Amino acid sequence: MLCFISQYNNPYFNLALEEALFESIPNCFFMYRNSPCVVLGKYQNAYQEVNYPYCVKNNIPIVRRESGGGAVYHDLGNINFCRISSNNSIAIEYDFLDKLVSALNDMSINAVRKNDIDIYLNDKKISGNAQRKAKSISMHHGTLLYNADLQSVKNITNKSKGIYSTRAISSRKAEVTNIVEHLENPMNIDDFMNAMVKHFCDSVQPLPKEIIEKAKALEPKYNSFEWSFAKSPAFTYSCEYENIKLSYSVKKGIIQEISLDCDFLDSQFITNALTGATLDFYEISRIINSVDKMQYSQAKMLIDCIF
């Protein structure tokens, strides 16, 4: 089996590389690490899953992938693996995960498979997995929390004050841990990745130039509001916060209808301004902060309510 390790840490580009490999090389193993980001499942609501304001303020990109499943946090302490196969049977997927668990066990890591596609260590999650299938090709990919910032894992989780109504897939919450904390003989993350690779491939090869070029063409899709946010299934949202009562509906990332009841704000003016607006943090903040005589504290309260 061909094996590749990405030399890039750009989450948009690495997800584009996955797609390029999926479309071009039917049997390979691929590993990579991303700079801090949140990666959503294809059928999730970005606004519901993620602490959007926190991610904006901390420059953490929110990226949607092509497979289903839940939202995950990536940083340079997290290892991402991807196995692409010309056999798309479910038995093959479970066999791959069992081999992954066996590889961890060989390094004295007492990992076990749970919930069919998750891997746990001492009753704490270290790996979440998802699949994508097309015709006879399947892609199984997942994460390995090696030495990730676990506080950031908690921080990126949605802390919205409101309630969502949507058909979007929700993430399963789980307590997590880092593999490095359980190693008898600690090693750096590169050595750990190389040890894992040996269980699946004889050697690592450079990514083919045509794959890199294909990924460059695919990257703008992942680095777009249209893909990461507007692909969220339609939803409604309601919130009561301080003296604000707010509700709105969103389709394709656009506010369709909005209702606002607030004694200290010009509710009608604000609802008119927000109807038809893109539900983007910067755009909503710009609109609200441009309202005449709006105090900073009032604007912040309204933005906190919206997100």
Report whether 136 contacts 89 (CB < 8 A). no
Task: Output the CA torsion sign for 197, 193, 154, 46.
Answer: negative
d(CA 171, CA 232): 14
From 82, 62, 66, select the one nearest 74 (Cα to Cα): 62
| Residue-level pLDDT at 294 | 86
Looking at per-residue pLDDT, the higher value among 91 and 250 belongs to 250
User: pTM above the 0.75 mark?
Assistant: yes
- Asked whether residue 92 carries a pLDDT value surpassing 80, the answer given is no
- Where is 216: in which H helix or E strand? helix 209-222
| Residue-level pLDDT at 146 | 98
| Residue-level pLDDT at 90 | 66
Position 272 confidence tier, pLDDT thresholds 50, 70, 90: very high
Q: In this structure, what token pair is assigned to residue 98?
A: 């069992």
Q: What residue has token string 């109807």?
A: 275
Range ranked top by mean pLDDT from 181-190, 199-208, 219-228: 219-228
Q: What residue has token string 């030495």?
A: 147
Residues 240, 210, single domain; the answer is no
Beta strands 62-64 and 37-40, pairing class: parallel
| Residue-level pLDDT at 116 | 83
Residue 156 placed within a domain: yes
| Residue-level pLDDT at 91 | 65
Residues 106, 251, single domain; the answer is no
Residue 199 placed within a domain: yes
Count of beta carbons in the 10 Å neighbourhood of residue 3: 16
Distance of CA 42 to the CA centre of its chain: 9
Residues 210, 287, single domain; the answer is no
Distance of CA 175 to the CA centre of its chain: 17
Residue 280's domain comprises 235-306
Residues 220, 247, single domain; the answer is no
d(CA 38, CA 57): 14
Q: In this structure, what token pair is assigned to residue 25?
A: 């090389």
Boundary of a domain, candidates 224, 256, 273: 224
Beta strands 118-121 and 111-114, pairing class: antiparallel
Mean pLDDT to the nearest integer, 275-293: 95
Looking at per-residue pLDDT, the higher value among 51 and 1 belongs to 51
| Residue-level pLDDT at 68 | 94
pLDDT digits (tens, 9 = 90+) for 286-301: 999 998 888 999 999 9
| Residue-level pLDDT at 185 | 85
- Asked whether residue 147 carries a pLDDT value surpassing 90, the answer given is yes
Report whether 196 contacts 103 (CB < 8 A). yes
Residues 65, 205, single domain; the answer is yes
CATH number at residue 283: 3.30.390.50
Q: In this structure, what token pair is assigned to residue 183?
A: 């190693």
Lowest mean pLDDT among 91-95, 130-134, 167-171: 91-95
- Asked whether residue 259 carries a pLDDT value surpassing 70, the answer given is yes
Task: Output the CA torsion sign for 285, 291, 292, 298.
Answer: negative
Structural domains in the chain (count): 2
